[in-house]
A and B are shown apart, each in its own frame.
Chain A
């Protein structure tokens, strides 16, 4: 972002910079954040007025670096991350896999470099956020991200699940409770393989309800909660809420059962006959996972195992062939049209062509 010789009408500061991140360039006051001017109107030598589009869509290296810097400023990352992302961008830009790609891909590359540097410094940023900032699909960003990792041969540490990048602005207590809920969810297989944002939303919603379980809070639906907190609606978040509630219920039941089991096992241990049966039931609970729905045997299992999607599988033809069998003529003939069929199809195609020409 370059400095512009303007004064901010709001606070009078002369610390006004040009922000090239968005579709049209904006002059923004650094001190108070107000937009001083948007877009530019310019006079060409003939006298016509036209609108200069933002240089953010320029495909050169300096423009790309400016984009990287703009993204870093929006995310408010520290200078180390900003420097690292610029280094990565320079390295990747000149690599053969990114030298002649489309503008969208170059923008995605800028976003990926910022994402990688954030990950290296354990700064929580999701792919979704980057995709939103550069206005592309998160799948596209993800693909470029993977490609960049391979090209630059980077090995990133795993992102620890924290609530720093939570869409909500949370108080300390709420953060603690939400974090504890997320840890519980992770232990009971709700988190593995799932997208993090819906889990964060669900955990925050449930901890908010549990901190002050008034009628008003308990009656509020997740959608209304998101509306109230100005967070985008998220359909998977509702499913996560249900799963976390189920998990808490099972834990509660299990705790109650364990208390009764403890007293029962104490009684059983006095009689030597039933000792072996206790061992057997324990073994049955922990060991046998050979049946088709082994998930139902365990106390907690990944939801995709407990409720598997019933797929109608075509009967697997275990035909033993050698690959060199005789191929019957009749079978091959069944795949070839008769002369009459060919004539009819050719005629129909002609008629269709004529109709489309007439139209």
Chain B
């Protein structure tokens, strides 16, 4: 391993039979907790070397710009490669702290709400003739007296779409954002094949519904007393408690069996955040007898 320590005047390199040095930039990419060997490739152009002279230069280079390969082990760093990382040539190598701190077990519930339904909308960008669509598509139903849209269904992902004559479409029933997008694209493709110049504009997730089970019974009467401003519990009308959380803006349906339904989210993270907020509150109403 060659050690590059400090700069040496050109005159001391007379042994190399070269006339200048040029150093290129280096980039250090480390993985978390790994001991890596980094190859620093530098182009060295030594003075008094005629690059066009094939006979000069280091043995084995055959007339090309002589290259110096330097290996240096990088120890003690636990940084993760961040996108758009600038070369660390000018900065000293310092140990960095881990980016994702470990969540203490007592804070997280350990329960992850499962997504049950995603509602999304997309604009097909052209006017549609619903009668033609209903006639020529196998999976479509259209009853203008009952509802002014074609109801279309596909098998995979198992979803339902409402297609309006303005070209706007609502897609429901998917279990994830990606499935909803794929399903919407399939509906758009069906409409396209039926002869309409359908596009796929402004796809947007409008609502996400998730559910989970805390696995202990909940005293809804107690919860409505302590969280009156957010809760609405009318057993005559509905058996569950309707909890309207402010941050994030999610509506939760809490049932005596411990099952919780979360709805009104635009992104998945809101559902998870809402559940993490409600779980400690529900634990407070846990009764084992």
Contact = CB atoms under 8 A, between A and B. Distances in A.
Contacts of B221: 158, 186, 192
B288 A317 contact: no
A101 interface: no
B246 to A, nearest CB: 15
B19 interface: no
B157 A317 contact: yes
Interface string A141-155: 010011001000001
A74 B266 CA distance: 48
Interface string A309-331: 00000101101011111010001
B267 to A, nearest CB: 15
B234 A322 contact: no
B289 A300 contact: yes
Interface stretch (B3-11, B101-109, B176-184): B176-184
B139 A335 contact: yes
Contacts of A170: none
Interface residues of A, number: 52
A86 to B, nearest CB: 23
B83 to A, nearest CB: 19
B262 interface: no
B127 to A, nearest CB: 20
Given A289-B215, A302-B257, A332-B193, A139 B185 contact: no
Contacts of B257: 295, 302, 304-305
Interface in B182-231: 182, 185-186, 189-190, 193-194, 215-217, 219-221, 224-225, 228-229
Contacts of B53: none
Given A323-B177, A335-B137, A336-B136, A189 B234 contact: no
A187 to B, nearest CB: 8
Interface stretch (B24-32, B33-41, B235-243): B235-243
Contacts of B139: 335
Interface stretch (A43-51, A193-201, A269-277): A193-201
Contact of A193 (B177, B216, B220, B229): B220
A325 B135 CA distance: 28
A301 interface: yes
A323 B239 contact: no
Contacts of B194: 336
B45 interface: no
A317 B186 CA distance: 18
Given A323-B180, A334-B138, A336-B194, 5 more contacts: A127-B237, A196-B236, A304-B256, A324-B182, A342-B135
24 contacts: A126-B236, A127-B237, A139-B237, A145-B237, A158-B221, A158-B225, A189-B256, A192-B217, A193-B220, A193-B240, A194-B239, A195-B236, A196-B235, A289-B215, A295-B217, A302-B256, A302-B257, A304-B255, A317-B158, A321-B182, A322-B178, A324-B182, A335-B137, A335-B139
